[in-house]
Chains A and B, each alone.
Chain A
Amino acid sequence: MKLDSKIPAGPIEKKWDSHRFNMKLVNPANKRKYSIIVIGTGLAGASAAASLGELGYNVLAFSYHESPRRAHSIAAQGGINAPKNYANDGDSVWRLFYDTVKGGDYRAREANVYRLAQVSGSIIDQCVGQGVPFARDYAGYLDNRSFGGAQVSRTFYARGQTGQQLLLGAYSALSRQINAGTVKFFPRREMLEVVLVDGQARGVVCRDLVTGKIETYAANAVVLATGGYANTFYLSTMAKASNATAIWRAYKKGAAFANPCFTQIHPTCIPQGGDYQSKLTLMSESLRNDGRIWVPKKKGDTRRADQIPEEERDYYLERMYPSFGNLVPRDVASRRAKEMCDKGYGVGPTSLAVYLDFAESIKRLGRHVIEERYGNLFDMYHEITAEDPYKGPMRIYPAVHYTMGGLWVDYNLMSTIPGLFVLGEANFSDHGANRLGASALMQGLADGYFVIPYTMGDYLASTKFKPVKVDDAPFVEAQGGIEGLIKKLMSINGKKTVEEFHRELGKIMWDNVGMGRNRAGLEKALKEIPKLREEFWKNVKLVGESNDMNAELERAGRVADFLELGELLAFDALHREESCGGHFREEHHTEEGEAQRNDKKFSYVAAWEFTGVGKKPILNKEPLKFEYVKPSQRSYK
């Protein structure tokens, strides 16, 4: 496989502009002759489908939800970055670019990150135009707040519901196109296969989740905007249905999978309670603006928080990182929390938690200010734990939250399969080894509103298409394959539920491929995952019928894919003999316990190529060149 990133020539600040000029255009009258399939209608998918529809293409949009408004983008809380410099604190496109490359621990592609920073301002304009009710000051102008990994205030927010408001904005734009007839929306459809014709992505196989019917659809190009794969870990902050099936099946059809081991562990989540728990709940990073993180100075201190005097508390982030304090990037904050708990300073019933304390902010700003900024988060915490965070500190612990890895894409967001584009969290592109807070919403919308509308046109205008129909052989074969797979799953009739398999996989992943990784643990995972997968295909128990609504069958297919993806994730983590961002190999750290990169050997994107289930994938490398941001040891001291 040859990787061509197609980064345009020229100085970085001119690349996107000159590329836009050089790209071919589709004549307005010809646009409706092209069909585009968009899978997933979260932030990236909905914004892409709406924008492509506005341009006049014939768009077919699919979601396994009943409505685009249910996508998990809706749960993003804290905000979205843009270097508007409204705070007059020295922000610029260059600074956002620099912060993002550095925050990603020098494992992202410079040209993509620069473009992301460049278009991010237009996203805010777009969202305001749609009526997104961002927070404002008393003069009626937009308000900003700070986020981890940055020393400027560039985060726009709508209370603690920014993702909801941005998704509803994209959903409204999409709804408008559905009404106009340029987009046809297919609810409750799950994509199960990409159909290739002469090597080009020309369609998909879907299952209608209400009737169980297997359907095929043809188009000129396919866009995957199906989110990340954090649910490989079972317990994560993802929605229950979030899955990797679309990108995984594309990988098995020849799309390279890049940097699967780059997973993000979010530092501020509500700690796990018991075995019944079905997911973990995030508490927005924005809380670190006004909350102070601490543990008792004494190991195994079981006193209540309010009984531990000030001088016996260790505000360890403020102590270790005086310049960034509680606002260090996520990977650093998570690792330090784990370290504190591992050393015996953890608090709460499980000792797997640290305090996030608002007492001082409430005293300084007044309860009403804290309520206005974080009210819904405080309520959520109260509901889940039955403890009132206005009265005592929250207990928090890191949890799997986001995946920086994903399908490899070039500068045009096209995968290694011609005609298969990948947007948002589903691709690998912009965050390197660690994503900064408030950058996921930014990337999803940048891809959907301001990148794909141009690059898709270029692909369509410069590609020859042979006419295809859904009764052509490649479609019929792909459909047959999926029907066979479903039949096989339904016929195993073993003893263990899908839920049990998923939990077991999650435990292997968290224990061995989680926050701290080492050779022995990764090798153990690489033995245990295939064993569990083998057992799954002999012993999984499904009930109900395949031609009916069947949640167990839906999950079985997704877990089957996680059982393969988990192996690739561990394999990638084992191969990357360095620590960078969210990938922390315990063998590689500085004296101060920070991640130690090995730029000589690992300054590349690892793009894996499928060779068969359980077989060693082929490693393809895209070397990373840093011409503008010189890689250095990341320091937040």
Chain B
Amino acid sequence: MDFKLKIWRQKNRDDRGRFVEYEVKNISPDASFLEMLDILNVELVKKGKEPVAFDHDCREGICGSCGLVINGRSHGPGRGIATCELRMRGFKDGETIVAEPWRAKSFPILKDLIVDRTALDRIIAAGGYISSKTGAVPEANSIQVPKPAAEEAMDAASCIGCGACVAACPNSSAMLFVAAKVSHLALLPQGKIERKERVLKMVEQMDKEGFGNCSNNYACEAECPKKISVTHIARLNREFLLAEIG
């Protein structure tokens, strides 16, 4: 398959950036989107030009490193996949594909398609955990967790922290990301003790990082590679209100 590409190139944080057009030919329909970029990059290096910088690592949809807005959608067309899982067979031969980085004030662009998502780590560091010290925990089966709660917690915990929800949201809100963690821990008996403090601190940090608010667009859920439901945002709001009341 052949493709025309319009790719965002930006030298560093301070550069203005621009779209640059490329062509790639003879791509296998089974190749992933990132493998298509690999092929482009080898060609660019051979010509002495700088390859397109993009974040990636596991290439099986779990590390959350990769993330491109492709033809206007976070992680491109398709549901429930990360960019690395996107295959070229889903595009039309000869199609023009536009690839750009996550766009959000809280995710400054470092280079080309790479953004700085450490704001998400700072939200977790503010309180996204259970404060159990190494060794200071009871025997595992002394804590029973109802199966439905464990399953729902797991649904939320499967968040890969890629930031697609932020990029998809018109308000650049990180509510789905924060909700996933708050919900995961609030559903478990181990997480109940710190639930109030946790939600207040995480939301405070989220606001400090400059993420917007939720206005019920649900674009986050639509683009989440792990199909995390917006019902977790509802739980985040309830947890927050309960904590505010005291």
Which residue from A161, A240, A385 sits with its C-beta under 8 Å from B59?
A: A240
Enumerate chain A residues within 8 angstroms of B35, measured Cβ to Cβ: 276-278
* A92 at interface, CB cutoff 8 A: no
* A187 at interface, CB cutoff 8 A: yes
Enumerate chain B residues within 8 angstroms of A369, measured Cβ to Cβ: none
**A252-291 contact mask (Cβ, 8 Å, vs B): 1 or 0:** 0000000000000000000001101111011000000000
Q: How far is the CB of A457 from chain B (nearest CB, A)?
A: 13
Q: Which of A139-147, A399-407, A617-625 contacts B (4 or more CB under 8 A)?
A: A139-147
* A138 at interface, CB cutoff 8 A: yes
Expressed in whole angstroms, the Cα–Cα distance for A133 and B191 within the complex equals 11
Q: A133 near B59 (CB under 8 angstroms)?
A: no
**B24-38 contact mask (Cβ, 8 Å, vs A): 1 or 0:** 000110111011101
Q: How far is the CB of A233 from chain B (nearest CB, A)?
A: 15
- Contacts known (A54-B133, A210-B110, A544-B50); A135 close to B128, Cβ less than 8 A: no
Expressed in whole angstroms, the Cα–Cα distance for A459 and B49 within the complex equals 50
Expressed in whole angstroms, the Cα–Cα distance for A517 and B120 within the complex equals 47
Which residue from B34, B63, B132 sits with its C-beta under 8 Å from A74?
A: B63
Enumerate chain A residues within 8 angstroms of B46, measured Cβ to Cβ: 495, 497, 541
Q: A161 near B158 (CB under 8 angstroms)?
A: yes
Q: Which of A94-102, A166-174, A409-417, A597-605 contacts B (4 or more CB under 8 A)?
A: A166-174
**A208-249 contact mask (Cβ, 8 Å, vs B): 1 or 0:** 001000000000000000000000000000011100000000
Which residue from B133, B153, B161 sits with its C-beta under 8 Å from A133?
A: B153
* A130 at interface, CB cutoff 8 A: yes
Enumerate chain A residues within 8 angstroms of B114, measured Cβ to Cβ: 549
* B53 at interface, CB cutoff 8 A: yes
**B59-98 contact mask (Cβ, 8 Å, vs A): 1 or 0:** 1111111000000000000001100010101000000000
When C-beta atoms are compared, the residue in chain B nearest to A51 turns out to be B134
Q: How far is the CB of A81 from chain B (nearest CB, A)?
A: 13
28 of the cross-chain contacts (CB-CB < 8 Å) are A51-B134, A66-B116, A70-B57, A70-B58, A75-B63, A86-B141, A126-B134, A126-B135, A128-B190, A130-B190, A133-B157, A137-B147, A139-B144, A140-B147, A141-B141, A141-B144, A165-B157, A171-B124, A173-B129, A175-B128, A176-B131, A239-B59, A240-B57, A383-B81, A500-B42, A541-B45, A543-B44, A543-B45
Expressed in whole angstroms, the Cα–Cα distance for A241 and B56 within the complex equals 8
- Contacts known (A161-B158, A549-B111); A67 close to B120, Cβ less than 8 A: yes
- Interface residue count for A (Cβ, 8 Å)? 84
Q: A175 near B87 (CB under 8 angstroms)?
A: no
Q: B27 near A131 (CB under 8 angstroms)?
A: no
When C-beta atoms are compared, the residue in chain B nearest to A126 turns out to be B137
Q: A130 near B130 (CB under 8 angstroms)?
A: yes
Enumerate chain B residues within 8 angstroms of A171, measured Cβ to Cβ: 124
Expressed in whole angstroms, the Cα–Cα distance for A386 and B29 within the complex equals 11
- Contacts known (A161-B158, A276-B27, A278-B35); A129 close to B190, Cβ less than 8 A: yes
Expressed in whole angstroms, the Cα–Cα distance for A278 and B184 within the complex equals 34
Enumerate chain B residues within 8 angstroms of A172, measured Cβ to Cβ: 124, 128-130
- Contacts known (A136-B147, A384-B87, A549-B111); A65 close to B134, Cβ less than 8 A: no
**A110-135 contact mask (Cβ, 8 Å, vs B): 1 or 0:** 00000000000110111111110111
Given pairs A130-B137, A386-B30, 13 additional interface contacts (CB within 8 A) = A70-B58, A86-B141, A127-B140, A129-B132, A172-B128, A173-B129, A173-B132, A239-B58, A500-B42, A543-B44, A543-B50, A548-B111, A552-B45
- CB neighbors of B among A422-439 (8 A): none
* A533 at interface, CB cutoff 8 A: no
* B246 at interface, CB cutoff 8 A: no
* A158 at interface, CB cutoff 8 A: yes
* A453 at interface, CB cutoff 8 A: yes
Q: B128 near A125 (CB under 8 angstroms)?
A: no
When C-beta atoms are compared, the residue in chain B nearest to A69 turns out to be B161
Which residue from A70, A84, A131 sits with its C-beta under 8 Å from B190?
A: A131
- Contacts known (A383-B85, A549-B114); A131 close to B184, Cβ less than 8 A: yes
Q: B49 near A50 (CB under 8 angstroms)?
A: no
Enumerate chain B residues within 8 angstroms of A240, measured Cβ to Cβ: 56-59
Which residue from A72, A173, A548 sits with its C-beta under 8 Å from B134?
A: A173
Which residue from B31, B118, B133, B146 sits with its C-beta under 8 Å from A67?
A: B118
* A583 at interface, CB cutoff 8 A: no
- Interface residue count for B (Cβ, 8 Å)? 81
Q: B53 near A551 (CB under 8 angstroms)?
A: yes
Expressed in whole angstroms, the Cα–Cα distance for A175 and B63 within the complex equals 17
Taking beta carbons and an 8 Å cutoff, which residues of A are in contact with B? 47, 50-51, 54, 65-72, 74-75, 84, 86, 121-122, 124-131, 133-142, 158-159, 161, 163-165, 168, 171-173, 175-176, 178-179, 187, 210, 239-241, 273-274, 276-279, 281-282, 379-380, 383-386, 449-450, 453, 495, 497, 499-500, 541-544, 548-549, 551-552
Expressed in whole angstroms, the Cα–Cα distance for A54 and B135 within the complex equals 11
Expressed in whole angstroms, the Cα–Cα distance for A310 and B144 within the complex equals 44
Q: A125 near B138 (CB under 8 angstroms)?
A: yes
When C-beta atoms are compared, the residue in chain A nearest to B49 turns out to be A543
Enumerate chain B residues within 8 angstroms of A239, measured Cβ to Cβ: 57-59, 63
Enumerate chain A residues within 8 angstroms of B197, measured Cβ to Cβ: none
Q: B137 near A129 (CB under 8 angstroms)?
A: yes
Name, among B56, B87, B135, the residue most crowded by chain A CB atoms within 10 Å (CB to CB): B135
Enumerate chain B residues within 8 angstroms of A51, measured Cβ to Cβ: 134
* B154 at interface, CB cutoff 8 A: yes
Q: B128 near A548 (CB under 8 angstroms)?
A: no
Expressed in whole angstroms, the Cα–Cα distance for A345 and B125 within the complex equals 53
- CB neighbors of A among B200-217 (8 A): none
Q: How far is the CB of A413 from chain B (nearest CB, A)?
A: 16
- Contacts known (A240-B56, A274-B28); A133 close to B116, Cβ less than 8 A: no
Q: B64 near A175 (CB under 8 angstroms)?
A: no
Q: B42 near A499 (CB under 8 angstroms)?
A: yes
When C-beta atoms are compared, the residue in chain A nearest to B45 turns out to be A497
Which residue from A71, A122, A125, A281 sits with its C-beta under 8 Å from B60?
A: A281
* B219 at interface, CB cutoff 8 A: no
